[in-house]
Structure 1
């Protein structure tokens, strides 16, 4: 067996393009409850259980597009979903089961941030 010379060990940071940093910080820090690490006029860093989320204004037009879907792991997806609804977050449907494997059912509920980046809550429920 050969050793992969890249040897990726995890994810350190994910970039999410935004147009209004203070508004995005309010959403990710207050609505989603992620700890704010750093903020300035054009960018902010938040902690998502050891993975940094970089909220930044796109520097060039080619970077101004929705970011990748970030799947936020939660313990109780229905409660988390109801909290998003109570905070008037635009959701794309109720939590639903997407797969079963390894003794778990994977549930997801998709939502948008204020810049229309699509994300999801996800939960693994024992079956």
Structure 2
């Protein structure tokens, strides 16, 4: 029969309270690298029936997938051991505040939030970071006047 000390379970240390969430988890955009933009536009528009929102330089096309945008960019095929070039963009408003808080929580950003496009009805601001495995993520905010 085990002694009383052998029946003692290791004491669990209390976990710190979780940090308040900064992101709602709502995905705003997913980016895919494709080998041929014209061929991919035809496939996503004509075969899948996704509405083409617009094309933009250099070699970008944007489709509407309900509340999520799909961005296709033409580029070279990735090697099997390199990090993914698929990018998930989280909606993050207010971007500057969320960026600052994520920096304090240990996220490393490639550059500060910046304007990426001036649209007819809003400015599109983004900031990019990577997870511990090197997967890229974007934060995006559509700022309306």
Q: What is the TM-score when the length of structure 1 is the normalising length?
A: 0.51
- What SS is found at the alignment partner of 2:101? helix
Q: 1:65 and 2:74 equivalent?
A: no
1:96, 1:82 → 2: CA distance?
13
Local SS of the residue matching 1:116: coil
Aligned length: 77
After superposition, what is the alpha-carbon deviation per residue over 1:33-74, rounded to whole angstroms, capped at 9, x for unaligned? xxxxxxxxxxxxxxxx99xxxxxxxxxxx6543221211111
CA distance in 2, matches of 1:97, 1:77: 11
3-state secondary structure, aligned to 1:122: strand
- The corresponding residue for 1:94 is 112
Partner of 1:78 in structure 2?
96
1:115-126 equivalent positions in 2, closer than 5 A: 115-126=133-144
Aligned to 2:19: none
C-alpha distance in 2 between matches for 1:79 and 1:65 = 31
Aligned residue for 1:10?
65
Q: Residue 113 in 1 paired to residue 131 in 2?
A: yes
Q: Deviations over 1:58-113 (max 9, x none)?
A: xxxx6543221211111210111012101111111111111111310100111111
Structure number with greater Rg is: 2
RMSD: 2.7
Give the alignment's TM-score, normalised by structure 2: 0.45
State the alpha-carbon separation in 2 of the partners of residues 82 and 5 from structure 1. 42
The residue aligned with 2:28 is none
